[in-house]
Amino acid sequence: MKTRIGVIGTGWRAGFFLRAAKMLPQQFEVCGVVYHSEAGKERAGAWGVPLFASPEQLVQETKPDYVVVSVSRKSGVARQITAQLAEMGVPVLMETPPADSLEDLTEFYKQCGQAKIQVAEQYQFQPMIAARLAVAASGQIGQVYQTQFHLPNGYHSISVHRKALGVGMALPKVWGAQYVHQRMSAPGRDGDPVSEEMISVKQMVFHLDYGEKQAFNDLEGDQCRAWIRREHYNIRGDRGEVYDDEVYYMEDFLTPVHYSLERMMTGAGTNLEGSFLRGVRGQNGWVYENPFRPARMFDDEIAVATCMQKMAEYVQGGPDFYSLAEAMQDRYLALLTVQSAKEGKVLEASPQIWMK
């Protein structure tokens, strides 16, 4: 049975949800898109789905299973629309955590904390990250006590650090620092650079200290698009570690073991299956299997589609996959990293209302 979804928003990020639904027509049906301007209406029209001028009209006329809210966080529109849908009893998948200040996070949680809301934090579901997290959770490398990543900052990276460390809602000490460097430009949302250009990029470094466990993160501006910068993942445990795509652990006190996490792609050379990711193999078989094969999707599209699938399960009574409380916690800690960088001192996270 298909899941019927509505989408509010017509921007770049909303396109990920619409594209996933289009590539997975057996699972999802977009029953409508809400636009907020003539330019948005024109963009949304290219998807060939019903268009609506208001969330009320979308819900009343199409009765979606859930609605994706993918509009501006900074303006407060996302909070306003989500609260409106929650009052109507409509489950909501928010594209991003809802606010840029602790005050707004707190107020929103007071208003909507008990509503049926999840947040589409997709990084945990990107295939290689999911494979690394699976190894960390398996116990193979022992008790995980430290993570060192080069991941996009803010709640994205913090969510992955928390899951790898298994710290839940624990309260860390937070240190952050920002630097500015000159570097060659990289591709952007509009495509490749048109000429050689040196640009200013911000480097954000932070440390979350949970006592016996620590998280370190380092990201330089648009590193996720830059050809001359690489991702980095190190998850350390007391019996081994995940180091990028390699796993090292001790089978016993005299037997070290090493294997690689290998992406299994189709479509190369004489392979005629099509071009898609089949999964990620480890020491004894699959560590991660792509649930949407043979759809031709890149990693972030797979991750977004996973959020959509898990949201469909959630509205049918399934478990949380990234609750509003989790999103609030990660956004709050991200705000502390920026505050620490500005003030030049270590800050201590304090209990918040979503941590019950």
Residue 82: give its domain's CATH number: 3.40.50.720
Residues 230 and 154 in one domain: yes
Residues 282 and 156 in one domain: yes
Residues 210 and 64 in one domain: no
Q: Is the pLDDT of residue 356 over 80?
A: no
Of the listed ranges 8-12, 207-211, 319-323, the least confidently predicted one is 8-12
**φ/ψ of residue 117, rounded to 5:** -130, 135
**Residue with the two structure tokens 């803010």:** 154
Instruction: Tell me, yes or no, whether 48 lies in a domain.
Output: yes
User: What's the mean pLDDT when you consider all of the chain?
Assistant: 95
Instruction: Tell me, yes or no, whether 128 lies in a domain.
Output: yes
Q: Check residue 214 and give its pLDDT.
A: 98
- H helix runs in 70-154, sequence order: 77-87, 102-112, 127-138
Residues 274 and 317 in one domain: no
Residues 89 and 212 in one domain: no
pLDDT digit string, tens, across residues 29-72: 999 999 988 888 889 888 999 999 999 999 999 999 999 999 98
Instruction: Tell me, yes or no, whether 27 lies in a domain.
Output: yes
Crossing angle of helices 102-112 and 324-343, in 10° steps, is 170
CA–CA distance, 4 with 82 (Å, rounded to integer): 18
The pTM for the full model equals 0.95
Residues 246 and 151 in one domain: yes
Structural domain count, the chain: 2
Contact 316, 109 (CB under 8 A): no
Q: Check residue 143 and give its pLDDT.
A: 98
Instruction: Tell me, yes or no, whether 229 lies in a domain.
Output: yes
Residues 144 and 249 in one domain: yes
For residue 204 the two structure tokens come to: 């954000």
What is the domain extent for residue 284?
A: 124-290
Residues 40 and 140 in one domain: no
